[in-house]
Structure 1
Amino acid sequence: MADPYYITTAIAYPNGKPHIGHAYEAIAADAIARFQRMRGRDVRLVTGTDEHGLKMAQTARDAGRDTLEFATEMSNYFRGMCDALNISYDDFCRTTEPRHHDASVAIWKALEAAGDLYLDRYEGWYSVRDEAFYDESELIDGEGGLRLSPQGTPVEWTVEESWFFRLSKYRDYLIELNESAGFLEPESRRNEVLAFLKGQDLRDLSVSRTSFAWGVPVPGSAGHVMYVWVDALTTYLTGIGFPGREGDFARFWPANVHLIGKDIVRFHAVYWPAILKSAGLPSPRAIFGHGFLLHRGEKMSKSLGNVVDPLELAERFGVDQLRYFLLREVTFGQDGSYSADAIVTRCNAELANSFGNLAQRTLSLIFKNCDAFLPEISGHAGEDTELLEFVGRITSQDLPDAFDKLALSQGIESWMSAVFACNAYIDAQAPWSLRKTDPQRMRTVLATLYIAIGQLAVAITPVIPQSAVRLLEAMGIAPELRMFAAIRSHWYSPLAESGFRLEQPVGLFPRLALPVEAV
């Protein structure tokens, strides 16, 4: 049986429509999931929406809407985004589902059985927008004496009865866990969390609310609903069958990686492992906190008018083009910037002019000069072998090694170096000239390029799945050969000998034009 691999996105809060940051995270998670499937692993990708809490109830009330009806509509925007961006999720989990209610209750009872819950009164600075309490030392001064959270959101002094989780009990465990190699990446996030854990006493965590009723009721405690730490984070378990302990849950937990934004690292690297430890469950194997996407170097805000619907970008430039740009342009784990002109420049230079043109030129030459049959190889020359060795190493070793480390942009950069090598080779060999001077050599050159292009198409499939599969289909490369283990297999000669013929080649990537009003 294939080795399991479980990856999750953060569970999005849908009190507004999805933005480019949500799309970026979903695309990255999908590329990783597709890559692992192509490594032969049994992959589970879970995403979803966190629909409880005061913000959702207030937003629905202000709109004069039933809360569940509103939550369903907003959740559907996120599911629609995933579908439009070709996200191959295995489960889309909503916190309002009955199965999630059962999972949350099971976790709560496990914390209770461990003696890690107690009832007390909470007094502190609370941000409705962040749904988080902050210590006095974390606040910043806003205009007019307004107190703000570290995120710049308004806070108000709040007093209410609450159930508390004994987070302080797990401080030493959490330090050891976060110091362990590979648990929290990148290093900058790990350093932040360790500074938090070592720099102060760890306060117990408020895990229920009485100020609103939109949530999972606390069992046996009338008027209390579970707070986000227990409710939303448990979604990672719900998506694989918890509270059942057999089947998918036994197979996929602990998760291989939680993919999250850097702003919620503390919740995942501190609160979540402690809750799991208390419940008698293992912590996830890894947490990766990616950076933010900025628009032309600025944070996105409605007041600046630079908030962009990711589906508009996908419709304007193409789904695969948007996926490629985001994963190629931004070093995964760091902040990055995007703009319409950057998307156009990158995709035209690399997808249209380099890879797309390479495939179109090669397939068209075969179609025209070999009657659309795959040309036979009459002995590889040194430069042919050198190219195939280079492309084979990049596609079967360098890119996979980078993707295994979640170094996505570095992996794609390696892939582009192989594309450039193929373009240098076709220009140097000039098969259009060999047609007259040495047709046998022309056929070998075209066959060499065909093999290299097939390898390149397989390797980049996790990033641009629709375009890569379309090219692989046109080239007659069977699905079982579209795996990393098969990249360097000898598939060309059997395909050529089968009598396979190309259809009229069609361009993969039309050149993009910058819109009149650039995004």
Structure 2
Amino acid sequence: MSEKAYYVTTPIYYVTAAPHIGSAYTTVAGDVLTRWHAQRGERKWYLTGTDEHGEKVMRSAQAQGMTPKEWTDKLVEEAWKPAWVDVDIAYDDFIRTTEQRHTERVREFWQTLYDKGDVYKGEYEGLYCVGCEEFKLPADIRTDEDGTQRCMIHGTELETVSETNYFFRLSAYADKLLALYEEQPTFVAPSSARNEVIAFVKQGLQDLSITRSTFDWGIPVPWDEDHVLYVWIDALLNYVTAAGYGTDPERFEELWPVDVHLVGKDILRFHAVIWPAMLMAAGVAVPKQVFAHGWLLVGGEKMSKSKLTAIAPHEITDHFGSDAFRYYFLRTIQFGSDGSFSWEHLSAVYTSELANGLGNLASRIAAMVGKYFDGALPEPADHGPAEQALADKLAQTVATADKALDTLAFHDALAAINELVGAVNGYVTEQEPWKVAKDETRRDRLATILYSAAEVLRAVAVLHNPTMPKSAAKLWTLLGAEEKLGALSDQRIQDTATWGQLPPGTTLTKGDPLFPRLEEA
């Protein structure tokens, strides 16, 4: 058997409309996380995809005058996959719940649970949110002054649904779930999400309605084809069906259990309660972690397609570039908390940290090496206290960033790297190489200053490669590092702090700015 891959998933997204930056935020986080592990030299596997069944998708397709399959095909190919190109996502698999590799395994999974007696037939009446594709509990309902009952998340009026359905004995797994949360304290993260889930399960679990009979856009129930499977208990299985469950045991062993499920906080209970209970019932190992991040807020409210407050990723990347998109959202928002977005803040961060910070530093160092040493990186002649402080700062940054990524603290990792860039800028300002260059007797000192700054930039390129792959590649090229050190992707995080890796004599080329000045929109 091959070494287990580091396996990360996004939710599979509803294809009712084109993606917005909230979906892209989740997907970028998973991409950076898996790229970081690859930069460590680990095998990684990154899964994303689309959830294409259910009443919400069916209604969306009807509004477009199309069949659900026509509508989902169009959105996936013309909106979702192109959006992931816009934000530079390097997924390893893209699963659609309409694919046979998924639907066949879903039917087999639920037939197994039905045969075991974990599924039974019953009557259900409740308030249903089509937007959430979920029957709502009293605590999740907002009642207006006129008595209208609404979803707390979408604000839409709830519909009363009465059906004869099949139920999964979710209530039978409450104690096992509580034991799981106790035995694996990091199963649900962050801690606020864990506390919420534990409190929810301790209140008692109701059995879960897992079929619908009032519409037919879904996977037919194998033992009763008058019903289709409830969209969530179909969709959740994508994480195992894409990993080879039921078809490729060797592949499944290499990928499962998943290392991290990334989810928005509004779908936490599905992933941290229903999903592990389903797996327990089937005798399949539970995930290692479910991590719930916060919402992106615009004008103080969660983005909404229905309220037309959604922002498409390309609206940002067309102006700022994909690297700035990736950097900004993970740098400025603590992953796990809500975060507000504004164009003004994005522009300010881009200008101060990327253009004036890293970009200007790289340009200055390349220009000075070009001016004073004909573009060839000089050999340092000494390594004094100022250089040692820089080397120490580099070692501290690598350790901090690497540790932060283990807990998905992207903002801490990027803050540390930004501080390192600031330290190099401060070093250059203090050492004043442009003044040193005027004294021919201090040429060795000039060589040491410029070498030291370039050497830290070498490390910055490696550290930023998972987050800003295009800019990191440009920086690697500027430093002439490919010829001497090999491909940027082959550099290892754990080796990055070792001082003196960039060989003297390497040709530095200034080239185009890493982060061009922004044109006024």
Q: Give the TM-score normalised by structure 2.
A: 0.94
Partner of 2:131: 129
- Is 1:274 the counterpart of 2:277 in the alignment? yes
Go from structure 1 to structure 2 and tell me whether the alpha carbon gap of 1:503 and 1:287 turns closer, same or farther (over 3 Å shift): same
Out of 475, 500, 514, the position equivalent to 1:508 is 514
Count of matched residue positions in the alignment of Structure 1 and Structure 2? 510
Secondary structure at 2:370's aligned position in 1?
Answer: helix
Partner of 2:181: 178
Q: How does 1:9-88 map to 2 (within 5 A)?
A: 9-76=10-77, 77-88=79-90
Which of 192, 198, 221 in structure 2 is aligned with 1:194?
A: 198
Find the aligned partners of 2:467 and 2:510 in 1 and give their Cα distance.
25
Q: Is 2:357 the partner of 1:351? A: no
- Residue 166 of structure 2 is matched in structure 1 by 163
CA shift in 2, pair 1:325/1:474, >3 Å: same
Matched, 1:431 2:437: no
Residues 204-240 of structure 1: CA deviation (Å, up to 9, x unaligned): 0011111111111111212111112321001111221
Give the superposition deviation at 1:476: 2.6
The code of the aligned residue for 2:149 comes to R
Quote how far apart the aligned CAs of 1:365 are. Answer: 0.7
Letter in 1 for 2:495: A
**Closer, same or farther in 2 for the Cα pair 1:302/1:81, shift >3 Å?**
closer
Map of 1:469 onto structure 2: 473
Looking at structure 2, the residues matched to 24 and 258 of structure 1 have their Cα atoms a distance apart, in angstroms, of: 14
Aligned to 2:447: 443
Q: Tell me, yes or no, if structure 1 residue 237 matches structure 2 residue 240.
A: yes
Correspondence 1:4 to 2:5? yes
Distance 1:442 1:68 in 2: 65
Does the CA-based 8 Å contact 1:3-1:41 persist in structure 2?
Answer: no
- Aligned identity (percent) is 38
Partner residue in 2 for 1:409: 411
Question: For the residues of structure 1 that align with 2:304 and 2:187, how far apart are their CA atoms?
Answer: 32
> Tell me, what secondary structure is at the counterpart of 2:160?
strand
Moved more, 68-77 or 292-301: 292-301
In 2, the alpha carbon distance for the partners of 1:150 and 1:314 equals: 32
Residue 88 of structure 1 aligns with an amino acid whose one-letter code is A
1:126–1:90 distance in 2 versus 1, CA, 3 Å: same
| Distance (whole Å) between structure 1 residues aligned to residue 457 and residue 98 of structure 2 | 47
In 1, the alpha carbon distance for the partners of 2:432 and 2:198 equals 58
Instruction: Tell whether 2:486 aligns with 1:485.
Output: no
Secondary structure at 1:492 match in 2: coil
Q: How does 1:369-388 map to 2 (within 5 A)?
A: 369-388=372-391
Letter in 2 for 1:139: I
- Which of the numbers 85, 91, 94 marks the counterpart of 1:92? 94
1:340-380 C-alpha deviation (Å, 9 max, x unpaired): 11000011100111111111111111122111111011121
Question: Cα–Cα, structure 1 residues 30 and 444, in superposed 2: closer, same or farther, change >3 Å?
Answer: same
Q: Is contact 1:108–1:230 with CA below 8 Å preserved after alignment?
A: no
Indicate how the Cα distance of structure 1 residues 385 and 491 shifts in structure 2: closer, same or farther if over 3 A, else same. Answer: closer
Q: Distance in 2 between matches of 1:195 and 1:504?
A: 57
Give yes or no for contact 1:127–1:156 (8 Å, CA) kept in 2: yes
Give the deviation of 1:113 after TM superposition: 3.4
Question: Structure 1's 303 and 80: CA in aligned 2 closer, same or farther, altered over 3 A?
Answer: closer
Cα distance, 1:127 vs structure 2: 1.6
Q: How has the CA–CA distance of structure 1 residues 52 and 305 changed in structure 2, closer, same or farther, with 3 Å as cutoff? A: closer
Residue in 1 aligned with 2:212?
A: 209
* Cα drift, residue 159 of structure 1: 1.2
Counterpart mapping for 1:333-348 below 5 A: 333-348=336-351
Find the residue that maps to 1:202 and give its secondary structure.
Answer: coil
- Report what 2:114 is aligned to: 112
Q: Deviations over 1:406-449 (max 9, x none)?
A: 01101111111111111110001111111122111101111111
Aligned positions of 1:182-331 closer than 5 A: 182-199=186-203, 201-301=204-304, 306-331=309-334
Gaps of 5+ in 1: none
| Residue in 2 that maps onto 1:364 | 367
CA contact (8 A) 1:475 1:502 kept: yes
Contact 1:394 1:415 (8 Å CA) reproduced:
yes
Q: Aligned partners of 1:345 and 1:461: how far apart in 2?
A: 22
CA positional deviation for 1:67: 1.6
CA distance in 2, matches of 1:296, 1:361: 38
SS at match of 2:437: helix
How far apart in 2 are the matches of 1:168 and 1:389? 54
Question: Could you tell which deviates more after superposition, 201-210 or 258-267?
Answer: 201-210
Report deviation, 1:137.
5.3
Following the alignment from structure 2 to structure 1, what is the Cα–Cα distance between the partners of residues 269 and 291?
12
Deviations 1:156-203 (Å, cap 9, x if unpaired)? Answer: 22111111101011000111222331110111111111111112x211
In the alignment, what sits opposite 2:151? 149
- Give the aligned partner of residue 463 of structure 2: 459
Amino acid at match of 1:169: A
How many Å apart are 1:466 and its aligned residue? 0.8
